[in-house]
Each structure stands twice: as structure tokens, then as C-alpha cells.
Structure 1
Amino acid sequence: MSPCLLRPVVRLCAMLLFAGMVSACAPTVRPAGLPIAQTVLGPDGFVAADGAALPLQSWGNLEDPDAVILGLHGMGDYANAFMELGEQVGSKGIAIYAYDQRGFGRTATRPFWAGTASLVNDASDALTLLRARYPDTPIYLLGNSMGGAVAIITAATRGHLMDGLVLVAPAVWNRNMMPWYQTAPLSILSHSLPWLPLTGRGLDIWPSDNIDMLRRLSRDPHMMSSVRVDLLAGVADIMDLARVRAGDISVPTLLLSGMQDQVIPPKAVAALDDELSSLGLPDYHHCLYSEGYHMLLRDLNGPVVIEDIRRWVTDRTDRKNYSCTIK
């Protein structure tokens, strides 16, 4: 499964390094083009500033919602990552929007990395469009896994575009926390064999305890079953920057993580929690789920996690009554 693709690089890179498979190719990045188009949030597409059409999905009350959530999906995923969230809270006064980030899902540039700036600028433009559409409604940015890293950087640099930030199992496993035998091969291979696909097959890593859901996603053609090495290196880059910029967040923030997460080490999220706790944010909570895996919104315990998000977004007076362990 795509959320497991970060760790397979350890074994594969080590083998290739010692085999001497190093050449002079550079990693491929396909960033956004020049801002030549009018940004538009249509019924099924988000037109970015360079004219790129990013598939869009939405759920819930889109006419007069009590709150709006913009979701940013994780690596290898696409907008449908928020189907469970949308179906559960959409009928409770919340509008949910999500688009396929560049290089993923149904976008024209799949399977190439778009670069951190392109991903953050897209999120900023989408938030700006939502603010124009809902000028008097609270708007929250929700980032899941890799999308959490994008969301952290967006919140740190454009906090005025949102009323709050929700981080679901954010990808904040930066290189400083990885052993050298993971970071060095990744750096070399992203410049030597950028086309090399990596998969999670053969590894005993489970992104979720919801096996039926995992089987369904394995048959979804819009999900990535493998990724290029240079895309993986790009994700490592954005995780590094997210940890650096986390200290600049100033908006209310809800951090959700699982003790059973086998993709992003709990110690990495704990380090983020320590930093966010020290910032004196106007409203900050870390929800830790003892049975939670990486795919918190789609785990068997997903409905409980989603209800905690709904409560935090819509009921400020009840924000301390969660179903998780408050850290």
C-alpha cells in the first residue's frame, strides 16, 4: 500500500548502493507553471494559477455550511481519501472539499513530484477561493500524512487564510530523525535512478487495521501502488521543511495520531507535539488513539476519530470532551 512506501527504500537502496548502480541522472520535478490562469473552484475541478486542472471532490452542505474543511491527502492517495470524513460529517452542517494534489491521483503530472512550493501554493489558492465563497464561515485546513506536511507549511506561511489547522498522522519524520543508512541511499538514488519504482510489497508494515478498506484501495486505479524514487525524495524534503516551519504556526491546531502507526514513527509525532505545545497557540490539542494506525480516518476506529474532528471544528465549548487520550 502507498502509505508504506517510505521504509522499503532502506533495503532496496542499500542493495543498489553496494551493487554500484549509480549514474549521473537528476531527479525529475514537474512544478507548477507560470501564473497565467484565473483560479476557479468548480463542481468537480480546481483550476490552479497555472491553468492545471486538479480533480475536486466535495461532500456535505455546500450552500450554507457551519464550517468548511479543505482536505489535503497523503502520498499515493487522492481526494477520495476524505470520503469517510465527508459522508460522516457532511450531513452535520460541514462542507468538505478535497482535490488531487499534483503528481497524484487523476492529475496530468502523475507520477512526478511537483515540488513543495507548488503544493503549498495550490493549497493557498484553494483556501483563498473558499474564503471568497464563504466569507463568514470558519475554514479549516486538514492535512493527512504527506498532506499534513503541506498543511503545516501552508499554516506557517499563510495562517490568515484559515481559522484552524487539523493534522491527521502528519508526515513529520524528518531526516534528522532517520539513521544515515536511510537518508544517504535515498539522496544518491534520487539523483542516480530517479525512475526506479518502489513498493511496499514483502514488508510487514500495516497502515491500517481495516483490512476490507485496504483491499478496496488496492483495486483502486487512482491509488499509487508504487512511486518513483525522486518523488519519495521530494516527500522527505517536505517533511524536513514541515518540521522547521512548525514553530511558526499561530492558528488553533488539532493534532491526531495513533500509537500503532507503523508508517510515521510515534516519536516523530511526539517531537512535533512538544513543539506545538510550547507555542502558546490559542487552542491546541493532541489526540492520541491507543488503537490508531496511520490511516486514522479509515481505520476501524475511524468514525470515532472523525467525530472528534467534527466536535473540534463545530463546537468550541465542547473541545475537551474527546474520545481519545488528550496529550
Structure 2
Amino acid sequence: MIRSFMRLFAVFAFLAGLSACAPKIRPAGPPIAQTSLETDMFRAADGTELPLQHWGDVENPDAVILALHGMGDYANAFMELGDGLGKNHRIGIAVYAFDQRGFGRSPSRPFWAGISTMVNDASDVLTLLRARYPGKPVYLLGNSMGGAVAIVTAASRGHLMDGLILVAPAVWNRDMMPWYQTASLAVMSHSFPWLPLTGKGLDIWPSDNIEMLRRLSRDPNMMSSVRVDLIAGVADIMDLAHKRAVDISVPTLLLSGAQDQVIPPDAVTALDRDLAEAGIVFYHRCLYDAGYHMLLRDLNGPVVIADIGRWIAGGGGAENYSCTQS
């Protein structure tokens, strides 16, 4: 989805001279509330209530995952992950996910919240999960844009997690984009920040699971279009994630698909190189020949989910861990 939107900028850039206005950001307000996790809601420090979903053994799990969704998506992106891990009888895993600000059912949709707010929200939920499940390992999982948020969170607040799982992370930073895309993004985000863009008409397939894609197209919580300034915000966090990946020190699992048409293979390869050189004690990469961008919801999704379960069952630090060949 990210790559699809980026290709549209060159088409609209010539309009930029007609008007000018600043990108709109809706960050968190001042801390006025006690953070908390309710049955179906995360209450942030500024009092904002963000929808929360969970799956698996939430009463007495052996391990806990906080999952961060991608651009245009929402917490339900992890239904397949939660249901799949719930069938893993080797280890009880609880999966939690909330609608990040600006997306899904969040009250600030469709505005970008800013990097600090996104990272602070993730950090607060990790802290709450640690308090709820004392002594249990807590893992941070980031999918696509959520992967960029997870990288920055892990690089700056690694003490909040026992391991990091990156699923097709959005790490296509501006240095890797064609000049005409970065130039158009810079101009349009200040000239037409409100302009809604869609990926329609572009030959990009995020998954081979057609029935799933049809279901998502009818889901009102999915965003079929996003503002230009929100895309610029996602580009900002992809830039920062690329820079901060070398600061990660927790066990990390990187999952990507050879058929990914959203994030260029070179971007994931560069991340793999950075993580391998970061000195992480336990780092593993899984590359699935049959995997697209929506790895957890692809037809090959059950294989990917089972690999995540095995990695967690091994404590996220097994030296001899190997991925299933798809």
C-alpha cells in the first residue's frame, strides 16, 4: 500500500504551485489520565480511548505479544495471528492489538499523530502488559508501518520487551526512493496535505489471498484512501526506523515475502544487513518464497504464524532456530 501511494505523487506534483498549507498532525495531548487496558479499549495518557482487541490465552499465558498494525489497517489485522497462535498447544500466547491513532476506529482518524505519539502509545501498552503479566515474556510485533513504529520503540525502549518480531516492515526510507517521488511528497504534503489518495489503478497485489482482500474492501474500518500528509508522516517514521535499526539489542525475528510488491526487496535486504551488523545476540530472518506483503493473511499465512509460535516457544533466543521453507 505504501509503495502504491508513493507512485502517485509524480502525477499530482505539478498542482503544487496553486496553493500552500501546512501538514496537519494530531499528536497526543497533555497527560491528564491514568493509562489503562480495559476489555476492549486502551486509555492513553491524554485520555484518548483507542479500541483494543485480544486473542488467545489472556488469563494465564506463557507469553504475550503486542501487535502494531500497518497503514490503513486496524487492530483486526491480527485476527489470523491470534487465532493461529491460539491453536498452538506447545505454549499459551496472548495477542493484544489496538487501533493506532489516525487509523481504524480511533477518534483522530484520518490524521497523522506524529512519531513520538505513536511510540509513546506502544510503550505505554507494553508497560501495562508487563504489569498485567508479571514475569511473563512480552514481545513487540510490528507489521508494515507498525514495523517501523516497532523498530523505533525497540531501539529507544528495548527494556520494555523481551523480543521483537518484524513482519514485512515498512523500511523504504527516502534515500531509497526515486527523486521524483521524494520531491513530489515534499511539495504535496505542504501544498495539498488534505488530498486523499488511493492505490486504485496500480498493479500492486498486497496478497494472494483474494477472498481476504475482498473482505477487507467491505470493512468500513479499513482506510481505502489516506491524506497526503499522513503518507508523509509514514515516510518520516520509515526514515527514522532505517537509522535506528542498528540500535536494537533485543532478540529479533525478521519475516518477509519474496513476492512483496509493497516494500521493495532492497529495503528489507538493507534492514537485514543492519540488524545482522547490530550485534544482536539472537537475530533470525525468514524469507518466504510464497509470501506477499500481507504475510500473516496470505494463503501461506499459517506457515508464517507457526514459525512465530515456534520462535516464541524457544524463548526468542534459540541459536539453532530455522524457518519453515514455504
Q: Same fold (TM over 0.5)?
A: yes
In 1, the alpha carbon distance for the partners of 2:17 and 2:39 equals 47
In 2, the alpha carbon distance for the partners of 1:319 and 1:57 equals 33
Q: 2:45 — aligned with what? A: 49
Mean CA deviation greater in 310-319 or 165-174? 310-319
In 2, the alpha carbon distance for the partners of 1:115 and 1:91 equals 36
- Please list the CA deviations of residues 125-162 of structure 1 after superposition, one character each: whole Å capped at 9, or x if unmatched: 00000011111101000000000000000000000000
Q: Which amino acid aligns with 2:185?
A: L
**1:264 aligned counterpart, secondary structure:** coil
2:194 aligned with 1:198, yes or no?
Answer: no
Q: 2:65 — aligned with what? A: 69
Q: Which amino acid aligns with 2:267?
A: A
* Contact 1:312–1:319 (8 Å) recurs in 2: no
Q: 2:148 — aligned with what? A: 149
In 2, the alpha carbon distance for the partners of 1:102 and 1:80 equals 15
Q: 2:310 — aligned with what? A: 311
Structure 1 residues 77 and 203, CA, compared in 2 at 3 Å: closer, same or farther? same
- How many residues align? The count is 321
2:131 aligned with 1:135, yes or no?
Answer: no
Map of 1:1-327 to 2, 5 A cutoff? 4-10=1-7, 12-92=8-88, 93-316=92-315, 317=318, 320-324=321-325
**2:199 aligned counterpart, secondary structure:** coil
* Contact 1:9–1:198 (8 Å) recurs in 2: no
Deviation, 1:16, is 2.7
* Contact 1:311–1:319 (8 Å) recurs in 2: no
Q: Which amino acid aligns with 2:3?
A: L
In 1, the alpha carbon distance for the partners of 2:309 and 2:84 equals 9
In 2, the alpha carbon distance for the partners of 1:179 and 1:95 equals 41
Mean CA deviation greater in 303-312 or 19-28? 19-28
Q: Which amino acid aligns with 2:323?
A: Y
Structure 1 residues 16 and 137, CA, compared in 2 at 3 Å: closer, same or farther? same
Q: Which amino acid aligns with 1:322?
A: C
Deviation, 1:88, is 0.9
* Contact 1:197–1:226 (8 Å) recurs in 2: yes
* Contact 1:5–1:199 (8 Å) recurs in 2: no
* Contact 1:56–1:79 (8 Å) recurs in 2: yes
Deviation, 1:63, is 1.2
Deviation, 1:9, is 3.6
Deviation, 1:282, is 1.5
In 2, the alpha carbon distance for the partners of 1:22 and 1:291 equals 45
**1:194 aligned counterpart, secondary structure:** coil
* Contact 2:242–2:271 (8 Å) recurs in 1: yes
* Contact 2:16–2:188 (8 Å) recurs in 1: no
* Contact 2:26–2:112 (8 Å) recurs in 1: yes
Q: Alpha carbon RMSD of aligned pairs, Å? A: 1.3
Deviation, 1:23, is 1.7
Deviation, 1:19, is 4.3
**1:46 aligned counterpart, secondary structure:** strand
- TM-score (norm. length: structure 1): 0.96
In 1, the alpha carbon distance for the partners of 2:3 and 2:273 equals 24
Mean CA deviation greater in 72-81 or 18-27? 18-27
User: Where do 4+ consecutive residues of structure 1 move more than 6 Å?
Assistant: none
- TM-score (norm. length: structure 2): 0.96
Mean CA deviation greater in 142-151 or 18-27? 18-27
In 2, the alpha carbon distance for the partners of 1:249 and 1:51 equals 30
Deviation, 1:318, is 8.4
Deviation, 1:20, is 5.0
**2:3 aligned counterpart, secondary structure:** coil
**2:232 aligned counterpart, secondary structure:** helix
In 1, the alpha carbon distance for the partners of 2:157 and 2:29 equals 21
In 2, the alpha carbon distance for the partners of 1:319 and 1:52 equals 43
* Contact 2:142–2:169 (8 Å) recurs in 1: yes
In 2, the alpha carbon distance for the partners of 1:320 and 1:185 equals 43
Structure 1 residues 107 and 312, CA, compared in 2 at 3 Å: closer, same or farther? same
| Unaligned stretches of 5+ residues in structure 2 | none
Deviation, 1:174, is 0.1
